[in-house]
Structure 1
Amino acid sequence: MSAKTKIIVLHMKEVIYTGIFLLLAVILGIVLFFMFGPVQRQHSAGTSPDRYKPGIYTSSIELNSNTFDLEVSVDAEKIRNIRLVNLSESTSAMFPLMEPALESLSSQIYSSQSLENLKYPQDQKYTSLVLLNAIEDALKKAENN
């Protein structure tokens, strides 16, 4: 053995206290990081603001002197409901493809949340185009500028 050997005596109580204080310092550091660290906002630069003004918007459709409304309800991000209102029984009987065409279009719009690339049967082409124009008009009123 050399004469420069030193023996250090540690008391267990001091080791435990030191460990506890180190653990508390780490926890305090983590808490301070989350409190004052980088803030993530809901509408940061990478995300877009609300797409629509929430509400119910209508567009009128006139076919052979029969007028009825198409109603689109939206929330801030989604198209929630599309339906025909003020559709009399006589108009419904005169244009029997109106409701099936609307069901086909609305199911596609709900799933994609877009009016692009919609498919409709050939026998409902013109009815679907009339409804699609009315839906576009209602959504233009709902757009958040």
Structure 2
Amino acid sequence: MSSKTKIVVFKAKELIYTGIFIILGILLIMLLIFMFAPSKESSKTKKTSSYTEGVYSSPLKLGENELELEVTVKNGKAQSAALKHLNKTVKTMYPLIEPSLTEINRQLPKIKNIEDLKFSNQNQYTNTILKQAIKNALKKAQE
């Protein structure tokens, strides 16, 4: 067995250029990580958004009927929602309004954010209208 010794020669310029490119690559990767990683401060501010206690209302127009949705806030969270000026005509024209409101009231104390409300596909439109009215009332609670 004969072993041939190989001698590798590096030029100083090549080593310096390679080191610079490696450092720049590492800096670029770190920059991308810091830019696109979620910040801890933004997640804390989302969790701590609380509302002032009280009862807040928002107008709700269904067809030609003007209703008022009242949201009760306790302990910084929306606890319940109720419709005022709801008569038999509105109940007949919009039969899903009461079951939708009941479902929303069942979920309100359990969720942290209004966006977390889950709806069935049967009354998606009605729930969306009620959800928007609740958001409008809660905007008043933040001010």
Q: TM (normalized to structure 1)?
A: 0.61
In 2: Cα distance, 1:126 partner to 1:50 partner: 27
Bigger Rg, structure 1 or 2: 1
Count of residues in Structure 1 that have an aligned counterpart in Structure 2: 99
Take 2:52 and 2:103, find their aligned partners in 1: how far apart are those partners? Answer: 25
- Per-residue CA deviation, residues 41-71 of structure 1 (Å, 9 max, x unaligned), is xxxxx99878212111001111111011110
**What is the percentage of aligned positions where both structures have the same residue?**
34
Alpha-carbon distance in structure 2 between the residues aligned to 1:142 and 1:69: 16
Q: Is residue 2:126 matched to residue 1:130?
A: no
Q: Tell me the equivalent position of 2:52.
A: 53
| SS of residue in 1 equivalent to 2:91 | helix
Is residue 50–residue 76 contact of structure 1 (8 Å, CA) maintained in 2? no
Give the equivalent residue in structure 2 for 1:72: 71
* Deviant stretches of 4+, over 4 Å: 46-50
Residues 57, 142 of structure 1: 8 Å contact kept: yes
TM-score, normalised relative to structure 2: 0.62
CA RMSD, Structure 1 to Structure 2 (Å):
2.2
Tell me the distance in 2 between the aligned counterparts of 1:126 and 1:66: 17
Q: Which has the higher helix share?
A: 2
Long gaps (5+) in structure 2: 1-43
